[in-house]
Amino acid sequence: MKLRTASAVATWIVVAAASGIAQDTSSRLLPKVDHLIYATPDLDTTVDELEKLLGVRAAPGGEQPGRGTRNALISLGANSYLEIVGPDPKQPQPSRPPWWLQGLKKPRIVAWAAKGTDLDSLRAKAVKSGVTLGEVMSGNRQRPDGVILTWRMTSPRNPLADGVVPFFIDWGESDHPSLTSPHGVQLVALRAVHPDDRRVQDTLRRLNIDLPVTNGSLPGIIASLEGRLGRVELR
């Protein structure tokens, strides 16, 4: 396995092709992935680093008023995208920063969203099965071209299993962000590590999510991306 590093900001690993078992799992999982949230303390620097590794430059997504953040996006294929999000120096620091921003020293995947519909029913079924997803809430933001995007989601404010268990999102009538984000990168595999991997796997099964989780000292989400410059592992 060849190791390639971009800078002290983050580390990426060029990975080999997945095994047959992993590919089978991915074929069930990846269509459910809406987006990955890649948090960074410096959005501009991380966008530059990712462009050097993937050969694709993320496009500005927009400001997130009240949260003190802004984002940039890269399409990861059919109705899936990478959201790179960091502090917005033009906004005042919020009294309650997003959980992932607290103590963040370098870029990492902090959470992910799964596709969902009829979220009230989905959440009720999850709670009945013993998984307390966040309350269903609405969101919106304005794209740089002025278009307003709206969505509904189960709140990600109190992440389950350190973000390894997804929240769910429904874009309704809005165009999915992957359609207007730069193309050229494909999500080919997704996995996670967690100190309490068996409990996390049980929670995911209750949600019908086939995310492979192995034991590790620290929780983490690992994505294999195929870019214009080769395959890269982002975590």
pLDDT of 19 over the 50 cut? no
How do residues 73-130 score in pLDDT, each as one tens digit?
Answer: 999 998 999 999 999 888 887 777 788 888 899 999 999 999 999 999 999 999 999 9
The confidence score (pLDDT) of residue 98 equals: 83
Q: How far apart are CA 2 and CA 73, in angstroms?
A: 27
For the chain, the structural domain boundaries read 3-234
The confidence score (pLDDT) of residue 6 equals: 40
The confidence score (pLDDT) of residue 202 equals: 98
How do residues 155-206 score in pLDDT, each as one tens digit?
Answer: 999 999 999 999 999 999 999 999 999 999 999 999 999 999 999 999 999 9
What does the buried/exposed string (b/e) look like for 12-40 if buried means 16 or more CB atoms within 10 Å of the residue's CB? Answer: bbebeebeeebeebbeebbebbbbbbbbb
Q: How far apart are CA 84 and CA 78, in angstroms?
A: 18
CATH code linked to domain 3-234: 3.10.180.10
The confidence score (pLDDT) of residue 22 equals: 52
